[in-house]
Amino acid sequence: MTCNGSKTAVIQPDGFTGALLACESVCDGAVVLHGPTGCRAHHSALSERVFPRDDSPERLNFLEPFYFGQPRIPTTYLDGDDFIFGGKEKLLTALKEIMKRNPSLISIINSPGAALIGDDIVQAIAEAGVSIPCAAVEMPALSCTMAGGYQQGMIAILQALSLAAQTTKARSVALIGLSIAHQHWDGSAAELRRLLALCGIEVVCCVGAGSSLEEYRRIPSAACYAVVHDEYADRIGPWLSEHCGGTIAASAEGTPVGFTATEAWVKIVAHAVNADPTPALMDIREQRRRVSRLIGQATFASASLKGLCFAVQADPSIALPLSKWLYEYIGMLPVAVELIDHTPTPLAARLLTWLESIGCADAWQRPWNNAQADLLFADGQQSTQARASGCCGAIELMLQTGPRLDVVPKAVLGATGSAWLVERIMRELSWALWA
């Protein structure tokens, strides 16, 4: 179950995909892609996969112009003439057609090619008589990371809402930095809400993660903006703080994945709003003890897991706490820890320092397919490749590649998410545990 292949190029989702998914994350909104059909099909399918709506699965309900049989991300299907003479008329017609479905918000995103035409999107919105908030991303951040593009799309939405000042509500937060691209994002949001509720803290909005327009309008009442994934919040947080007031709470341990990082995150957020974290900490510790007992009860599981090797390909905010938790709580060894974005950050520096402290500095920025790993944590594409090549087991952290039916809600973050990760690890490594 191990491999030692050569280093190959890794294709990562870009900022254009991030902007589209950010705008798609508003549950009662609609997204219009101003561009050719070739830019749409994959993104429409991706949105359906990561954030299924109550849209009818019957494709005959979406045969009107601009939808092409898919319910998400209608497009203006620009052609060669439009790129020469402009595609404004198609955009006007599309906006009028999409308004018939009564969205609460419309986001218009130029494709990279359409951004070169120079169509005046703001003028088109006015001419179409759109009476609801409209966000526009005229120049998508194609060359940046998906996280950067995600924040670009979210800030465009926040700007379009012109959020009014409100009286700050004590012990209330808005979650920032969680995206619909993250695996089991909805279950993770519910778990973080649950933990904070134990502390008497209300979550008024999950920015970028399935909230409605009504919830977005409650953002100015939040006393604090609680960061989940730093890479998806380091621009949104300061923007909200500047325009709506409120403080930013971010854990130095990164994303609340694993028991220790979850405890640190809860303490930081509770302290920021002057709440008592004790009830949530007691819940997390009980989950920790329960999972430990179950690992011990599995025949040879505790001993068999120790010493197995893992690889991570992720953002620093999740790579740091995940690697530390796998090493300290389960006893697995990191052999490859590759960051999606190599830009230096405090969390990346902490991760490197920690790897050096445990004698695993050679794992730093090492591709998973150039190491001998028993288990890989990465996005859906890399996980599928690992399974197909027979290199190792794999657990998806974001952008699952196939359809998923979760009869029982699942989470990756928080105490419940930690328990689920242990279950997934034991299933993926069953060959080692019960061989």
Closest CA to 105 of 219, 26, 19: 26
Closest CA to 332 of 293, 365, 373: 373
pLDDT in tens, 54-98: 665 666 677 778 888 788 899 998 988 888 888 889 999 999 999
pLDDT in tens, 390-428: 878 899 999 988 766 778 889 999 999 999 999 999 888
Predicted pLDDT of residue 4: 44
Q: Which domains does the chain have, with CATH numbers?
A: 15-161 (3.40.50.1980), 172-282 (3.40.50.1980), 299-433 (3.40.50.1980)
Q: How many residues does the chain have?
A: 435
Predicted pLDDT of residue 57: 62
Is 199 in contact with 276 (CB distance < 8 Å)?
yes
Predicted pLDDT of residue 403: 67
Predicted pLDDT of residue 390: 83
Predicted pLDDT of residue 116: 83
Closest CA to 397 of 127, 13, 4, 28: 13
151 CB neighbour count, 10 Å cutoff: 29
pTM: 0.92
* C-alpha torsion sign, points 389, 39, 54, 220: positive
Distance of CA 69 to the CA centre of its chain: 26
SS3 content of the chain, % helix, strand, coil (to 5): 45, 15, 40
Predicted pLDDT of residue 3: 47
- Please count the CA atoms within 13 angstroms of the CA of 48 that sit on its side-chain side: 18
Question: For each of the chain's 435 residues, which pLDDT tens digit applies?
Answer: 334 444 444 557 889 999 999 999 999 999 999 999 888 888 988 998 899 876 656 666 777 788 887 888 999 989 888 888 888 899 999 999 999 989 999 999 999 888 888 888 888 898 988 999 999 999 888 889 999 999 999 999 999 999 988 899 999 999 999 999 999 999 999 999 999 999 999 999 999 999 999 999 999 999 999 999 999 999 999 999 999 999 999 999 999 999 999 999 999 999 999 999 999 999 999 999 999 888 877 655 555 778 899 999 999 999 999 999 999 999 999 999 999 988 899 999 999 999 999 999 999 999 998 998 999 999 999 998 988 888 788 999 999 887 667 788 899 999 999 999 999 998 888 765 554
Rg (Cα) of the chain, in Å, rounded?
22
Calpha distance 210→22 (Å, rounded)? 10
pLDDT in tens, 258-286: 999 999 999 999 999 999 999 999 999 99
Mean pLDDT, all residues of the chain: 90
Is 244 in contact with 308 (CB distance < 8 Å)?
no
Calpha distance 399→184 (Å, rounded)? 10
Calpha distance 339→320 (Å, rounded)? 10
Closest CA to 326 of 374, 264, 392, 380: 374
